[in-house]
Structure 1
Amino acid sequence: MNNKIAVILAGIFLSLLNFTSISQAQTTNIQDLSAKQQGIVTIAAFTANGNLEKLKTALNEGLDAGLTVNEIKEVLVQMYAYTGFPRSLNGISTFMTVMEEREGKGIKDELGREANPLPAGKSSIERGTEIQTQLVGAPYKSQLTFFAPQIDQFLKGHLFGDIFGRDILDFQSRELATISALSSMEGVNSQLQSHFNVGFNVGLTEMQMRSLISVLEANVGKKEADNATAVLNKVISSRAR
């Protein structure tokens, strides 16, 4: 009888060890992104999926983690290019409410710096073409841009020239926001795949990408995280060839 009890206790002990190891691995995985980066991920995700109650929590947590007011504004403005004006405007409106509530509690948040003026002597399209080439890793060519050249001008001139050209956020932060938003939406895996590639191009590591997905799983949902994992694995496989 004593031997049976010893075997059972040993099994329970090993199970606890395995559970602890898994929990520690998951915690470490998330912590590969800084608290500020995790804030960007959740703010972008809840702006994209329209969950404004959870967005309020994410905005408060982002401010508490050290994101400045202007950095968060920049994330919310950038979201319109990927989620549409309605979601972006709802996000900005929610942020206004959060700021009013925090000010009412006597909380003073850091405003942060304004963006430096965009370089003179180049048009938005010229500047955006350079930035897009840097992000993609080569001059961007697509059947879409031949079929609808106007969208190519808007992408280069407005998205990459006017928005990504603003230096409040670095490219890694912008890609964390974009990947998170796309991961939280349905039917955009093609764009998500492209931005995982861009994430690698701007210096994000595989561990950071997987950390982003861990944040999504913990805060947004397993369905979204599983889909993002599948897309990331496809990207990693294609880049290894």
Structure 2
Amino acid sequence: MITDAHKTTPLPALMALCLSLGAMFNVTTQTAEASSAMTSTQATAETLSSKQQAIPLIAAFMATSDMPNLNTALNQGLDAGLTVNETREVLVQLYAYVGFPRSLNALNELMTVVQARKQRGIEDVPGREPGRVIPTGDELLTTGTANQTKISGAPVKGPVFEFAPVINRFLQTHLFGDIFERDNLDWQSRELATVGALAATPGVESQLRSHMLASLRVGLSATQLRQVTEQLKKHGDAQTAERANTALAQALAASGK
């Protein structure tokens, strides 16, 4: 199954979307850091749940195509109570940050893990499908723009969007509309996944810092995010943990925490 996924060629337009995500967060960092409004979608807690701890590791190993460690992390996440649909949603969302080939390979690995667990007598909870009706047309653009503004901390503007306005429309309608309106995975989990994937990806440090700030906006605490860096250090590699730790320190300084 993994061999088939490697042969998949992402569509040019969607690859442009993936590559431009980093540009969007880089452009909006200064505006977002200046915003004093910290929007939360959930109550802030002091520690990550076992399910939450598994998400950044799954994302990091997906981003590096480390299938043996991804297999372990997927098993640990399911053992901790992640449903199959929640885990699948993490891997689907991350195509926007690390590309379709890695997402497809990781989904194949999740299928392998679930099947192997079933053969061992483990019946994983499927979990729920999205229950919210995703809007279309102008309503989708309005909804996605509102989500983008909330997560970014301010309306997204900048030279890159003046140069290529269509990319922001793709972001607003697809990423922040089609994907972030899917309510079978909460925004805290989505940000934990994004942080894990970006921390494992060299060269996107400014985007990682922006997502640390976004994590604070959706209700994750500084203590919880420090747990993320500790998890990455314990189970990942030193460079991934260092990037996460540096980005978190910068985000906390920018937010006055």
Determine the structure 1 residue equivalent to 2:41. none
Partner Cα separation in structure 1 for residue 144 and residue 202 of structure 2: 27
Answer whether contact 2:132 2:181 (CA < 8 A) is retained: no
Determine the structure 2 residue equivalent to 1:117. 132
Determine the structure 1 residue equivalent to 2:215. 199
Unaligned 5+ segments in structure 2 are: 1-45
**Secondary structure of 2:130's aligned partner:** coil
Q: Deviations over 1:48-82 (max 9, x none)?
A: 11101100011111110000000001000001000
Partner Cα separation in structure 1 for residue 123 and residue 55 of structure 2: 20
Determine the structure 2 residue equivalent to 1:174. 190
Determine the structure 1 residue equivalent to 2:255. 239
Alignment of 1:1-241 (within 5 A): 32-120=47-135, 123-240=139-256
Query: 1:32: Cα distance to partner?
Result: 2.3
Counting aligned pairs with the same residue, the percent is 48
Higher Cα Rg, which structure: 1
Query: 1:108: Cα distance to partner?
Result: 0.5
Structure of greater relative contact order (alpha carbons < 8 Å, 6+ residues apart): 2
Query: 1:201: Cα distance to partner?
Result: 0.8
Partner Cα separation in structure 2 for residue 236 and residue 176 of structure 1: 16
Amino acid at match of 2:83: T
Partner Cα separation in structure 1 for residue 222 and residue 181 of structure 2: 25
Query: 1:85: Cα distance to partner?
Result: 0.3
Answer whether contact 2:213 2:251 (CA < 8 A) is retained: yes
User: How many residues in Structure 1 have an aligned counterpart in Structure 2?
Assistant: 211
Q: Please tell me the root mean square deviation across aligned C-alpha atoms, in Å.
A: 1.5
Q: Which moved more, 1:170-179 or 1:143-152?
A: 143-152
Answer whether contact 2:134 2:182 (CA < 8 A) is retained: no
Partner Cα separation in structure 1 for residue 135 and residue 176 of structure 2: 16
**Secondary structure of 1:165's aligned partner:** coil
Q: Deviations over 1:112-155 (max 9, x none)?
A: 11101325475322211011111122211122211211211111
**Secondary structure of 1:123's aligned partner:** helix
Higher helix fraction: Structure 1 or Structure 2? 1
Partner Cα separation in structure 1 for residue 202 and residue 133 of structure 2: 34
Answer whether contact 2:134 2:178 (CA < 8 A) is retained: no
Partner Cα separation in structure 2 for residue 189 and residue 240 of structure 1: 20
Partner Cα separation in structure 1 for residue 211 and residue 203 of structure 2: 14
Unaligned 5+ segments in structure 1 are: 1-30
Q: TM-score by structure 1 length? A: 0.84
